[in-house]
A and B are shown apart, each in its own frame.
Chain A
Amino acid sequence: MGLIKKLPVYLEKFPGGGIVTTSLDYVFSQSQASSLWYLLFGTACCAIELMATGASRYDFDRLGMIFRASPRQSDLIIAAGTITKKMAPRLRLLYDQMAEPRYVIAMGGCTVKGGPFYYDSYAVEKGINHIVPVDVYIPGCPPRPESLLEGCLTLQKKIKKLKIGDWS
Chain B
Amino acid sequence: MKPDDTLAGEMQRRGVSRRAFLKYGSYIASLMALPPSAVEALAEGLAAARRQSVIWLSFQECTGCTESLTRSYSPTLENLIFDFISLDYHETLMAVSGEAAEEARRAAMAANKGKYIVVVDGSVPMKDGGVYATIGGKTNHQILEDTVKDAFAVVAVGTCAAFGGLPKANPNPTGAVAISTLVAGKPMINISGCPPIPEAMTGALAYILSFGKLPELDHLSRPKAFFGETIHDRCYRRPYYERGEFANAFDDAGARQGHCLFKVGCKGPVTYNSCATTKWNGGVSFPIQSGHGCLGCSEPEFWDQGGFYRPLSTPLGAMGPALAGAALAGAALGVGAALSARSHQKHYLASLDKEKEKE
A, B bound: no
Q: Give the interface of B toward A (CB within 8 A).
A: none
